[in-house]
Structure 1
Amino acid sequence: MKCCPKDKNIKKDWMEKLESESIIVSDDTVIEISNFCKVFSSPLRLKIAFLLNSGDLCVCEIVSILKEKQNLISHNLSIMKKYRVVSSYNQAKYKYYRIERVASSFLSNYIKLPTDKTIL
Structure 2
Amino acid sequence: MRVQMLRLMANPKYGTVQAGEAVDLPADEARRRIAAGDCKPLDSEPRRRAAPPAAPDDGGAGGEPVAVEKMTVDQLKAYAAEQDIDLGDATKKDDIRALVVAELERRRDADDD
For the pair shown, which has the larger CA radius of gyration, 1 or 2? Answer: 1
- Give your verdict on TM over 0.5: no
| TM-score, scaled to structure 1 | 0.27
Higher helix share: 1
| TM-score, scaled to structure 2 | 0.28
